[in-house]
Amino acid sequence: MLFLGIESSCDDTCAAVLDDRGVVRSSVVSSQVRLHAPYGGVVPEIAARHHLEAIGPVVAQALADAGAGLDAIGGIAVTRGPGLIGSLLVGLSYARGLALRRGLPVVGVNHLEGHIASGWLECPALPYPALALVVSGGHTALWRVAAPGSYVEAARTRDDAAGEAFDKVAKMLGLAYPGGPVIDRLAERGNPLAVAFGEVRTKGEAAFSFSGYKTAARVHAERLGIRPLDHPDDPPCSDLLDLVAAFRYAVVRELVRRTRQAIESERPRALVLAGGVAANRLLRAEITRLADERGLALSIPPPRYCADNAAMILKAGLPRLLDGADELETLDATAYLPLGGPESAHRSRRHR
């Protein structure tokens, strides 16, 4: 039996098909980067409008890529939050309408749970308990994962998310949108030790903090006389390359430092790195080094499953669909959805 996943929490329209073992049969993403680039960030109204245009074709393409029709689908998992409410409503309304018309069960999934579940997409035997570092433009947090559906937050950012800090610094320097991948690419050409970023200390709490690094980047740019590029395609000077290399190094150092502390207190058997920033090359290398150092099993999804996608949403919702859950009558979108609500409290019977 096959299952359909739908994700539309921000600016990507996504659909995926998995089989009942959790194997990905197809995954389709319609990106809106080109639409939002002139604004330097996601415009909610534009995002929702594009989702309306794209959702039907994206689902049709996912089914075609999987070599299946709707008659082969046994259930649907869809993102219900957190995210942009207009974007969420498009995907959720489409999923509910499709479920109603075809008589299919449908479940809502927490977007953060989806990112965590991406660690098991290509590593289904990854052991529990695991520690999951979720790093994206909207979220930066560590979660202890005792079993599918069982999460305890170990640390979160108290200000900017790491991806948000990357994007804001890139915008400040006149780099292209989205800024995180651009900084990652340019940093490879700079000296990460040329500019000193002090470590941020958070008193009395297990928390990340990136706002100070963002401010320090602005101060260093002013001190070095680095002006924003007139056009994103302009060649960067060596000082700018060194600055972004040092900024990337500082952010990754903070992520790894807090993860190391959490490993000491949580004693996991495995480590997962997930979210859009998990595609960052330095972060992937440092987390790999940390896992090797501590003797932990490691899962870092390939870049196609780091950014928003529907395969991760369906992977998270699949145990409930297999258990016979159906939320058609109660399912609704919510912009703010802490991980730990009813949809993430469930545990698959095979892990009870």
pTM of the model: 0.91
CA-CA distance, 313 to 318, in Å (whole number)?
9
SS (H, E, C) 227-255: CCCCCCCCCCCHHHHHHHHHHHHHHHHHH
Same CATH fold, 127-300 and 2-119+309-351? yes
Over residues 221-227, the mean pLDDT reads 95
Over residues 132-153, the mean pLDDT reads 92
SS (H, E, C) 2-54: EEEEEECCCCEEEEEEEECCCCEEEEEEEECHHHHHHHCCCCHHHHHHHHHHH
CA-CA distance, 6 to 66, in Å (whole number)?
15
| pLDDT confidence of residue 123 | 95
Per-residue confidence band for 342, with pLDDT thresholds at 50, 70 and 90? very low
Over residues 73-91, the mean pLDDT reads 97
Q: What is the dihedral of CA 70, 75, 80, 81, to 10 degrees?
A: -100
Q: Which helix (H) or strand (E) holds 121?
A: none
| pLDDT confidence of residue 348 | 31
CA-CA distance, 255 to 280, in Å (whole number)?
12
| pLDDT confidence of residue 40 | 85
Domain 127-300 CATH (choose: 3.40.50.300, 3.40.309.10, 1.10.260.40, 3.30.420.40) = 3.30.420.40
Mean pLDDT of the residues in the chain: 92
Q: Is the peptide bond before 129 cis (omega within 30 degrees of 0)?
A: yes
CA-CA distance, 102 to 59, in Å (whole number)?
15
pLDDT at 205 over 80: no
What is the residue type of 122?
E
pLDDT at 351 over 60: no
End-to-end CA distance of the chain: 23
Give me the helices (H) in the chain, please: 33-36, 44-65, 85-102, 111-117, 162-172, 179-187, 211-224, 238-266, 281-294, 303-306, 310-322, 342-345
Torsions phi, psi for 263 (to 5 deg): -60, -40
Over residues 211-228, the mean pLDDT reads 94
pLDDT tens track for 250-270: 999 999 999 999 999 999 999
- By the 10 Å C-beta count (0-12 exposed, 13-18 middle, 19+ buried), 10 is classed as buried
pLDDT at 345 over 70: no
| pLDDT confidence of residue 203 | 63
Tell the CATH topology of 2-119+309-351. Answer: Nucleotidyltransferase; domain 5 (3.30.420)
* 106-120, 226-240, 329-343: least confidently modelled range: 329-343
Over residues 120-141, the mean pLDDT reads 94
Over residues 46-52, the mean pLDDT reads 96
Q: Are 135 and 278 in contact (CB under 8 A)?
A: yes
Q: Where are the domains of the chain?
A: 2-119+309-351, 127-300
CA-CA distance, 141 to 322, in Å (whole number)?
29
pLDDT at 341 over 90: no
